């Protein structure tokens, strides 16, 4: 069915872009204001804006290439903004705990997804794809909540961010395996090993040497510029370079955006923080709304599909919440729970895996709809759960050292 406003958008040349941006941006900001007044995180409003405008409710806007591009820019600016608040040394300090959290947070969700689909008498390959869709964490939502609460410097936030980066590498390796299976060919162990080494090497090189390199090179570059806001121009160019390199190395572009921000964290001026924050205020609503726009609740008219969707959603929350929490159990119950809940949202990562399965004919439309529902629902549920988990903490100054972060 064609969205009602699609005809209006197409009826006049040049109307499509401003109309869609007005509807998405304006509705996201309006509902964010409503959410804040109801003492919920503002990003809940952005997510609900997509559901309201999309096929689930009003069906005014169809998710398209334009909105996809704006959403991609939005999540890159979000992760870049988060990276500017995190120092590389802080992530290295929590590396051991983050690695355990990430590994458990990959294995347990995969097993849960696979078992549920097999128990529901779906094919083995479809079950494997569902497990893979439940693996990777979408850290953008968690980062936005913690940033808004001033808690990115809390040791649990650093563990979540580090674990999510590791999660992304592991998730892409899982995707490589299931994609090979979906094409009916054997698993390319050499290719997977090469991808793993390149992606891990890229991330570690940036974490270890990125900040030192930027601190040496950036001042020399800036002295050559005469244009206004030269630091912002160089920083955004660096963001796109790192996103591109990340894509070529085998990890997601948003990981490159995060690493770019982290490399600049020690040298960024207050003015750069202000300009990046302003850019994020423009672009991030499109990322949030895009998640809701991809949900179509109409597929759950079937009782079987509805029951299976609810089962997968519960499994997705428990497998990350409990599994990742157990990986950080040495920090105590409260912090373990915070980390577990911070790893719950799947967002765009789970949907990408589901789209790969659908394009290869490895999963049915119903299974695809369930995977998308799981990804969107975990993303929507994460902000209020995190708000509850962190309700008793005050903002943490960026330079505060926390002895627990070494655990």
pLDDT tens string 121-180: 888 888 988 998 898 787 788 888 888 888 888 899 999 988 988 887 787 777 777 766
CA dist., res. 245 & res. 253, Å (int)? 8
Least confident stretch, 29-33, 97-101, 222-226, 336-340: 222-226
Of the pLDDT bands very low, low, confident and very high (cuts 50, 70, 90), residue 11 is very low
Res 199: pLDDT: 83
The better pLDDT of the pair 304, 177 is held by 304
Across the chain, what does the average pLDDT equal?
84
Query: How far lies 370's CA from each of 107, 311, 313, 382, 395, in Å?
Result: 20, 10, 9, 18, 37
Res 403: pLDDT: 42
Q: Domain extents for the chain?
A: 72-406
| pLDDT score of 347 more than 70 | no
Q: Give the mean pLDDT of 283-303.
A: 85
Res 331: pLDDT: 92
Res 175: pLDDT: 72
User: Does the domain formed by 72-406 have CATH 3.30.420.40?
Assistant: no
Q: Let me know: does 52 contact 244? Beta carbons within 8 Å.
A: no
Res 290: pLDDT: 87
Q: Let me know: does 210 contact 254? Beta carbons within 8 Å.
A: no
Of the pLDDT bands very low, low, confident and very high (cuts 50, 70, 90), residue 182 is low
pLDDT tens string 217-236: 999 999 888 888 999 999 99
CB atoms under 10 Å from CB of 282, counted, come to 14
Query: How far lies 135's CA from each of 28, 58, 103, 173, 228, in Å?
Result: 28, 31, 10, 11, 44
Res 110: pLDDT: 93
CA dist., res. 208 & res. 205, Å (int)? 5
Res 26: pLDDT: 96
| pLDDT score of 310 more than 80 | yes
CA dist., res. 165 & res. 210, Å (int)? 16
The reported pTM is: 0.78
CB atoms under 10 Å from CB of 134, counted, come to 31
Q: Let me know: does 366 contact 302? Beta carbons within 8 Å.
A: yes
Share of the chain above pLDDT 70, in %: 89
pLDDT tens string 49-83: 998 999 889 999 888 888 989 988 998 998 899 88
How many Cα atoms are found within 13 Å in the side-chain-facing hemisphere of 157? 28
CB atoms under 10 Å from CB of 127, counted, come to 21
Q: Give the mean pLDDT of 86-110.
A: 87
**Nearest-10 Cα torsion for 60, 355, 29, 57:** 40
Q: Two tokens at 309?
A: 């969707």
| pLDDT score of 276 more than 80 | yes
Q: Give the mean pLDDT of 24-44.
A: 88
Residue 117 class from Cβ within 10 Å (0-12 exposed, 13-18 middle, 19+ buried)?
buried
Of the pLDDT bands very low, low, confident and very high (cuts 50, 70, 90), residue 405 is very low
pLDDT tens string 99-115: 999 999 999 999 999 99
Res 397: pLDDT: 67
Least confident stretch, 2-11, 160-169, 319-328, 352-361: 2-11
Res 328: pLDDT: 92
Of the pLDDT bands very low, low, confident and very high (cuts 50, 70, 90), residue 15 is low
């Amino acid at each position: 069915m064609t969205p009602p406003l699609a005809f209006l958008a197409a009826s006049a040349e040049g109307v499509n872009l401003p109309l869609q941006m007005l509807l998405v941006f304006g509705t996201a900001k309006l509902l964010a204001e409503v959410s804040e007044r109801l003492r919920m995180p503002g990003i809940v409003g952005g997510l609900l804006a997509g559901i309201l405008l999309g096929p689930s409710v009003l069906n005014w806007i169809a998710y398209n290439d334009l909105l996809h591009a704006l959403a991609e820019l939005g999540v890159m600016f979000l992760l870049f903004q988060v990276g500017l608040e995190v120092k590389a040394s802080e992530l290295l300090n929590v590396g051991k705990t983050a690695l355990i959290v990430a590994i458990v947070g990959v294995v347990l969700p995969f097993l849960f997804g696979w078992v549920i689909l097999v128990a529901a008498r779906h094919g083995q390959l479809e079950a494997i794809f569902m497990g893979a869709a439940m693996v990777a964490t979408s850290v953008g939502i968690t980062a936005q909540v913690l940033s808004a609460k001033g808690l990115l410097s809390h040791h649990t936030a650093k563990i979540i961010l580090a674990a999510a980066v590791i999660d992304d590498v592991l998730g892409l390796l899982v995707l490589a395996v299931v994609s090979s299976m979906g094409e009916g060919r054997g698993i390319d162990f050499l290719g997977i090993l090469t991808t793993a080494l390149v992606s891990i090497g890229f991330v570690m090189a940036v974490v270890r040497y990125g900040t030192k390199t930027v601190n040496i090179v950036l001042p020399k570059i800036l002295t050559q510029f005469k244009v206004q806001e030269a630091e912002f121009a160089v920083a955004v160019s660096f963001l796109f370079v790192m996103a591109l390199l990340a894509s070529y190395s085998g990890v997601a572009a948003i990981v490159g955006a995060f690493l770019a921000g982290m490399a600049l964290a020690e040298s960024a001026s207050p003015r750069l923080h202000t300009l990046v924050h302003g850019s994020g205020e423009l672009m991030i609503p499109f990322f949030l709304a895009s998640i809701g726009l991809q949900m179509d609740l109409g597929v759950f008219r079937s009782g079987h599909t509805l029951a299976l969707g609810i089962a997968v959603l519960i499994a997705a929350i428990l497998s990350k919440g409990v599994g990742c929490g157990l990986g950080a159990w040495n920090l105590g119950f409260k912090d373990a729970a915070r980390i577990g809940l911070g790893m719950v949202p799947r967002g765009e990562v789970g949907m990408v895996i589901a789209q790969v399965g659908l394009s290869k004919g490895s999963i049915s439309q119903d299974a695809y709809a369930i995977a998308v529902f799981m990804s969107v629902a975990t993303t929507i549920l994460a902000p209020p759960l995190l708000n509850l988990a962190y309700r008793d903490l005050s903002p943490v100054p960026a330079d505060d050292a926390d002895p627990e972060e070494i655990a």
